[in-house]
């Protein structure tokens, strides 16, 4: 989505029209005959890699682990499994650092079975290898984004991929928000069902939009606001309180006329003045529309729908963790120095947000509340993470950096659900139908 979508063209957030009802039943593994079938197992193995010596290795295998239950089911059915995914954004050409070799190696280790990685995604060599497959074999096609046709959405690739299989088992929730030959293309051409991870993601995230237990507290942070505007607007329909942090908070403070000096308000690609102005306008509009909506959370805690930080930690830059200053936002005489930036929420904000979290029955969290990569600026984000782990609410996390941030604090086992999706989570919660869903719905 872009902040220049028609609904925002006049700087007015069009939230009355946003859909929040998502009731849906997907076709699953039991709804199709899989015995000894040739199956394209469409996964989202877009996993982080790092160089180790001469090789690349997978540094986070959560998405591979999430696909194993479905893969094991297919192997029990003696399917010939053809794994299809993209990794990174190679732009339609081969990029050595983005081959799937380290991914197939990690999958073989986890599955305890050899996974043959092919050197291409389509072509005569691939056809030959697939023709030799026996029931129970697993092969992995090369990164589909090495194909120009995938990047350009050409039907020729859809045809080549579709010929490979009798069935598509779609388990790539994290890539389900994109229209491409390897997503909507093959789903439209081959009988398809959802895998177990896909079903779980839709079921867990749907709970947030369909009658979440109140109070429903949403926490939104991260470095970019533009890709979360529609998600925020949609969640305002169902959430009782939205706690804001990170760069998103800076936009709201600026919209209230406060000084934010050099604080991040968007990532570099959206730094143009026009875009910034548009984002401030949207923030202003959201504040105006919610200003009279208060919720009583009990014990005298009466909160507005949008809650902004009370204090923030500032520093000259991210490399200056030893010299910081806490700015109380209610103190009209104490401003952030003009060449400093806000890098974390302050202790008063952590205390207030924690009190609200303690009273929640449902929580959704997306995005860090500060520059958590530097430990001096990670206390706010960590404080909120700990508050959620102590609460009795159903806690769901997902989108963008959220998972890596939680892993840094080693708290990942303490939440009810962490989605495997990045952008797909935000898209789903924005209420717009994911493009793959219509091919996976039960009649
Ligand atoms: C993910 O990992 O979230 C997806 O693979 C991202 O897809 P994109 O490169 O189209 O954003």
Q: 246-298, pLDDT tens digit by residue?
A: 999 999 998 888 888 888 887 555 557 777 788 888 999 999 999 899 999 98
- 262 or 84, greater pLDDT: 84
Give the DSSP per-residue string, 26-57. B--GGGS--TT-EEEEE------EEEETTEEE
- Atom of ligand 1 at shortest range from CA of 423: 3
Give the residue among 307, 296, 297, 304 at the shortest CA–CA distance from 360: 297
H/E stretch holding 327 reads strand 324-328
Counting Cα atoms < 13 Å in the Cβ hemisphere of 140 gives 25
What's residue 23's pLDDT?
64
Residue nearest to atom 4 of ligand 1 (CA): 175
Residue 336 per-residue DSSP state: P
Output the CATH code of domain 204-429: 3.40.50.1260
Residue with tokens 């008063």: 348
Ligand 1 atom 11, closest CA: 423
Catalytic residue positions? Answer: 63, 224, 400, 423
Best substitution site from 49, 61, 86 to test ligand 1's pocket, by max atoms within 8 Å of Cβ? 86
- Beta partners for 387? none
Ligand 1 nearest atom to the CA of residue 63, by list position: 2
Contact 345, 326 (CB under 8 A): no
**Is the domain defined by 29-194 classed in CATH 3.40.50.1260?**
yes
How far apart are alpha carbons 344 and 350 in whole angstroms?
Answer: 10
pLDDT of res. 20:
46
Q: How far is CA 10 from the centre of its chain?
A: 28
Sheet containing 394-397: give its strands across: 306-307, 241-244, 216-220, 362-366, 394-397, 417-418
**Contact between 431 and 15 (Cβ < 8 Å):** no
How far, in Å, CA of 229 to CA of 114, rounded? 44
Distance (angstroms) between ligand 1 centre and the Cα of 233 equals 22
Distance 435 CA to ligand 1 centre (A): 14
Phi and psi at residue 96, to the nearest 5°:
-55, -35
- pLDDT for 269 equals 53
Ligand 1: lining residues by beta carbon, under 6 Å: 44, 46, 89, 174-175, 178, 422-423
Mean pLDDT of all residues in 404-430: 92
Q: What's this model's pTM, rounded to 2 decimal places?
A: 0.92
* pLDDT tens readout for residues 43-56: 999 999 999 998 99
Cα 148 to averaged position of ligand 1 atoms, centre (Å): 17
Q: What is the pLDDT of residue 10?
A: 38
* pLDDT per position as a tens digit, 285-344: 999 999 899 999 988 899 999 999 999 999 999 988 889 999 999 887 788 988 999 999
For residue 8, what pLDDT is reported?
38
Which residue owns the Cα nearest ligand 1 atom 7?
Answer: 175
Ligand 1 atom closest to Cα of 88?
A: 9
Q: What is the pLDDT of residue 268?
A: 53
Residue 49 Cα to ligand 1 midpoint, Å, equals 14
Does the structure show a pLDDT above 50 at 99? yes
Best residue among 423, 424, 427, 428 to mutate for probing ligand 1's pocket (most ligand atoms within 8 Å of CB) is 423
Nearest to 83 by CA among 125, 117, 60, 127: 117
pLDDT score of 233: 93
Taking the CA of residue 86 as reference, the ligand 1 atom at the shortest distance is 5
Phi, psi of 45 (to 5 degrees): -90, 45
pLDDT recorded at residue 235: 95
- Tell me if 29-194 shares its fold with 204-429: yes
pLDDT at 81 over 90: yes
What mean pLDDT comes out for the span 10-24? 49
d(CA 142, CA 122): 8
For the chain, the farthest-separated pair of C-alpha atoms sits apart, in whole angstroms, at 76
Substitution site in 174, 419, 421 for ligand 1 pocket (most atoms within 8 Å of beta carbon):
174
CA distance linking residue 343 with residue 99, whole number of Å? 36
The 10s digit of each residue's pLDDT in 161-215 is 999 999 999 999 999 999 999 999 999 999 999 999 999 999 999 999 998 999 9
Q: Is residue 14 scored above 50 in pLDDT?
A: no
Q: What is the pLDDT of residue 399?
A: 80
pLDDT score for 91: 97
Give residue 69's pLDDT band: very low, low, confident or very high (50, 70, 90): very high
> Residue 6: its pLDDT value, please?
34
Contact partners, residue 204, CB within 8 Å, separation at least 6: 396, 417, 419
Q: Where are the domains of the chain?
A: 29-194, 204-429
CA gap 221, 183 in Å, rounded = 29
């Amino acid at each position: 989505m872009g902040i220049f979508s028609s609904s925002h063209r006049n700087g007015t957030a069009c939230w009355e029209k946003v859909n929040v009802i998502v009731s849906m039943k997907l076709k699953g593994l039991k709804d199709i005959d899989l015995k000894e079938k040739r199956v394209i197992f469409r996964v989202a193995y877009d996993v982080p890699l790092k160089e180790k010596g001469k090789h690349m290795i997978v540094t986070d295998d959560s998405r591979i682990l999430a696909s194993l239950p479905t893969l094991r089911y297919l192997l029990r059915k003696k399917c010939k499994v053809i794994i299809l995914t993209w990794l990174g954004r190679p732009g339609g050409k081969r990029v050595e650092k983005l081959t799937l070799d380290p991914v197939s190696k990690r999958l073989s280790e986890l599955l305890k079975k050899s996974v043959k990685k092919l050197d291409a995604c389509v072509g005569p060599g691939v056809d030959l290898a697939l023709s030799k497959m026996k029931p129970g074999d697993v092969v992995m096609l090369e990164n589909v984004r090495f194909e120009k046709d995938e990047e350009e959405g050409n039907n020729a690739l859809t045809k080549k991929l579709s010929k490979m299989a009798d069935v598509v088992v779609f388990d790539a929730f994290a890539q389900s928000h994109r229209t491409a030959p390897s997503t909507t293309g093959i789903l439209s051409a081959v009988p398809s069902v959802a895998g177990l991870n896909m079903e779980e993601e839709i079921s867990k995230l749907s709970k947030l939009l369909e009658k979440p237990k109140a109070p429903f507290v949403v926490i939104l942070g991260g470095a970019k606001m533009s890709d979360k505007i529609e998600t925020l607007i949609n969640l305002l329909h169902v959430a009782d309180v939205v706690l804001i942090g990170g760069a998103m908070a800076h936009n709201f403070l600026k919209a209230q006329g406060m000084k934010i000096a050099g604080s991040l308000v968007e990532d570099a690609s959206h730094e143009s003045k026009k875009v910034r102005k548009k984002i401030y306008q949207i923030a202003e509009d959201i504040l105006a529309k919610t200003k009279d909506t208060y919720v009583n959370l009990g014990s005298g805690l009466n909160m507005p729908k949008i809650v902004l930080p009370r204090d923030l930690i500032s520093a000259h830059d991210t490399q200056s963790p030893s010299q910081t200053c806490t700015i109380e936002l209610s103190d009209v005489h104490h401003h952030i120095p003009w060449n400093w930036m806000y890098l974390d929420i302050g202790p008063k904000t952590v205390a207030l947000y924690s009190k609200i979290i303690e009273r929640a029955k449902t929580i959704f969290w997306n995005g860090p509340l500060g520059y958590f990569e530097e430990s001096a600026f990670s206390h706010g984000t960590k404080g909120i993470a700990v508050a959620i782990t102590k609460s009795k609410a159903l806690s769901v996390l997902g989108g963008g950096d959220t998972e890596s941030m939680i892993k840094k604090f080693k708290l990942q086992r303490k939440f009810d659900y962490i989605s495997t999706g990045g952008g797909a989570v935000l898209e789903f919660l924005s209420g717009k139908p994911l493009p793959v869903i219509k091919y996976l719905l039960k009649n």
